[in-house]
Amino acid sequence: MSTPIGPVDSSRVPRYSGRDGFARLPRLDQVDHADIVLAGVPFDTGVSFRPGTRFGPTHIRESSRLLRPYNPAMDASPFELVQVADAGDIPVNPFDIREAVDAVEDAAFGLTSDGTRLITLGGDHTIALPLLRAAARRHGPVALLHFDAHLDTWDTYFGAEYTHGTPFRRAFEEGILDTEALCHVGTRGPLYGKRDLEDDRRFGFGIVTSSDVFRQGVDEIIAKLRDRIGTRPVYISVDIDVLDPSHAPGTGTPEAGGITSRELLEILRGLRGLNIVAADVVEVSPAYDHADITGIAASHVAYDLVTLLALRRSEERAAEQA
């Protein structure tokens, strides 16, 4: 196995120059293989309020320039453990949601050949559906940890089945979720009615509200999530609006009373060792992002997801060689 090619050395090339990939990592076409790939999906045709997440992938990459190669929170240098590369953006049709959904599924499936793990930078939450489809084609029905202010299990908007508020209802209907291990984390805010919660429960979701995180504490929430997921293959979907608007103003549908960026990162770090097969970070809308607060938070979320996947792959490789 060749030595992984890491980010540009910031002691030699200033952070504001050099590669423009996530964390200034090499492009996918610059490496002979990749254990983890990051890809952007610049798509926001499925939004119901403020647009602009089509510019999210570029914004997250720009905000990631300050990331450093050693992650002290998990005592790991992910870019040394495995090869990580940036595949650029998946081109999608901004005028045809169904065509865009199909394109994302096909691209995600292609990028995950040979066991490669994919982290996707959005884009609005509509893209979670095709990404889950691709993951299920590789692994069968997957568990889901969904970090979000909203349930995203509604039926339709204006008669449209594919929007950023419907991906997990469609995923349930398509049988691509493991309904014994589904959970929302960080939900809050008003709903259309009590039936929203009843439908969500019927699909198999458990709910950890932002108030639960505040009152029960991060460690207890981590223990509950780990118990619910177990050893199942799990997809992690992070809508950045899970954070309070004070921590993530740059998003399309903000809700008061969210969790902090510290709480989100600590929960993610507590998932170390789980069988994470893919992940996304979505709903970053830079037009509303004062001082790049949201982009910085999203880049750190993606960085910790990379670290989790790198640690898992490194452990798997060590077991294979034992």
CATH number of the domain residue 43 falls in: 3.40.800.10
* pTM score: 0.97
> Which residue numbers belong to the known binding site?
125, 148, 150, 152, 239, 241
Domain of 304? 22-321
12 found inside a domain:
no
pLDDT band at 321 (very low <50, low <70, confident <90, very high): confident
242 found inside a domain:
yes
What is residue 198's three-state secondary structure? helix
Cβ–Cβ under 8 Å, residues 221 and 208: yes
Judged against a pLDDT cut of 90, whether residue 11 lies above it is answered with no
pLDDT band at 199 (very low <50, low <70, confident <90, very high): very high
13 found inside a domain:
no
Residue 153 CA to its chain's centroid (Å): 17
pLDDT band at 1 (very low <50, low <70, confident <90, very high): low
Nearest to 209 by CA among 230, 232, 191: 191
Instruction: Give 189's DSSP letter.
Output: S
- Give the whole-angstrom CA distance, residue 198 versus residue 211: 19
2 found inside a domain:
no
310 found inside a domain:
yes
Q: What is the pLDDT of residue 265?
A: 98
- Give the whole-angstrom CA distance, residue 167 versus residue 41: 15
Q: What is the pLDDT of residue 320?
A: 86
- Give the whole-angstrom CA distance, residue 17 versus residue 129: 35
6 found inside a domain:
no
Cβ–Cβ under 8 Å, residues 147 and 270: no
- Give the whole-angstrom CA distance, residue 99 versus residue 91: 11
The stretch 156-184 carries a mean pLDDT of: 97
> Which residue numbers belong to the known binding site for Mn(2+)?
125, 148, 150, 152, 239, 241
Judged against a pLDDT cut of 80, whether residue 237 lies above it is answered with yes
260 found inside a domain:
yes
Q: What is the pLDDT of residue 49?
A: 95
Domain count, the chain: 1
14 found inside a domain:
no
- Give the whole-angstrom CA distance, residue 178 versus residue 204: 9
| Amino acid occupying residue 145 | L
